Structure 1
Amino acid sequence: MNETIISVVGNVATQPVYRELATGPSARFRMAVTSRYLDREKNVWTDGHTNFFTVWANRQLATNTAASLNVGDPVVVQGRLKVRTEVREGQQSWTSADIDAVAIGHDLARGTSAFRRTKQGEALTPGAGAPSQPEPNWETPPAEPAAQQRREPVAVT
């Protein structure tokens, strides 16, 4: 019961990927969250560091997410934060920050949205707002061995 519940405001960075699993619908997308601060010396707002989260949605939230969100949409996400660190054979360790979403919505401070209530058991068409795209490869490519990184000079004639 001791979970870290967070609310984040940012932009959809990748098109939601929708899947039908044995446990029910599931969707995920990457979200970019950039801090902004007032630079008092220049008197202008400045972008700070950008954090990326993988947002996971399940059941009806997954179906509605896939049908409603597109890359670049401003969103507000609330859910459980899960930080994972893994070590894979032959690679450096990596850390992932995931959000198991409870609620997702458009950020109405930055635009308008037309809400449409779904009826009980109604299935919207996932990705109806955007063309279907292949699932992105979110894995970090392994580093090349040192021997392959050296470049041999090429003679130009």
Structure 2
Amino acid sequence: MNETMVCAVGNVATNLTYRELASGPSVRFRLAVTSRYWDREKSAWTDGHTNFFTVWANRQLAVNAAASLNLGDPVVVQGRLKVREEARDGGQKWASADLDAVAIGHDMARGTSAFLRTPKPEAVQRRPEPAWETPSVNADGDAPVQQQAQTVAVT
């Protein structure tokens, strides 16, 4: 429940790696997030520090991301932040900031995009909705009564 949810705006920094796992599809890529600030001395916008995140997406989000994203695309990623620290060979400490993505989209402030809804899987078919209305019957009880709309004049 107490997970750190973040929203990161940046560029896809690596090609996407797509895999079919036993738990379902998975995709990962690196996201470059560069701060920008107004430099008064230069009277221009200047790039600041760049942070890199490894973005992980699973299931249908992974399938859609793999079909939609390319290297260099400006994106917005919302997800759970996970910071990992490990010791590498030689005792060197290494840290990684990962985003377990909940939502990914193109950054519409920097371009346009065309949305295509993915079809629902055929394995999950919905049953038809039952007819909840009971047809009216005539006084004999054998045939439905055709109800006609009535126009009422309001004065």
Q: TM bucket by the smaller chain? A: 0.7 to 0.9
**Cα displacement string for residues 28-75 of structure 1 (whole angstroms, at most 9, x for unaligned residues):** 000100000001122110000000000000000000011100000000
Give the total of aligned pairs.
Answer: 122
Residue 117 of structure 2 is aligned to residue 117 of structure 1 = yes
3-state secondary structure, aligned to 1:90: helix
Aligned 1:56-95 pairs, distance under 5 A: 56-95=56-95
Instruction: Write the letter of the residue equivalent to 2:27.
Output: A
SS at 2:90's partner residue? coil
Q: Which runs of 4+ in 1 moved over 4 A?
A: none
Deviation at 1:90, TM superposition (A): 2.2
Q: Partner of 1:18 in structure 2?
A: 18
Larger radius of gyration: 2
The two structures, once aligned, show a CA RMSD in angstroms of 1.0
Q: Secondary structure at the match of 2:67?
A: helix
Deviation by residue 1:64-104 (Cα, 9 ceiling, x = unmatched): 01110000000000000000000134240100000000000
Higher relative contact order (CA 8 A, sep 6+): 1
Q: How does 1:121-132 map to 2 (within 5 A)?
A: 121=121
Normalised TM-score (structure 2): 0.76
Asked if residue 30 in structure 1 is aligned to residue 33 in structure 2, the reply is no
Matched, 1:39 2:39: yes
Q: Distance in 1 between matches of 2:80 and 2:115?
A: 25
TM-score, length-normalised on structure 1?
Answer: 0.76
Structure 2 residues not aligned, in runs of 5+: 123-155
3-state SS of 1:94 partner? strand
Structure 1 gap segments, 5+ residues each: 123-157
More divergent stretch after superposition (66-75 vs 80-89): 80-89
Q: Partners of 1:18 and 1:67 in 2: how far apart?
A: 10
CA distance in 2, matches of 1:98, 1:82: 5
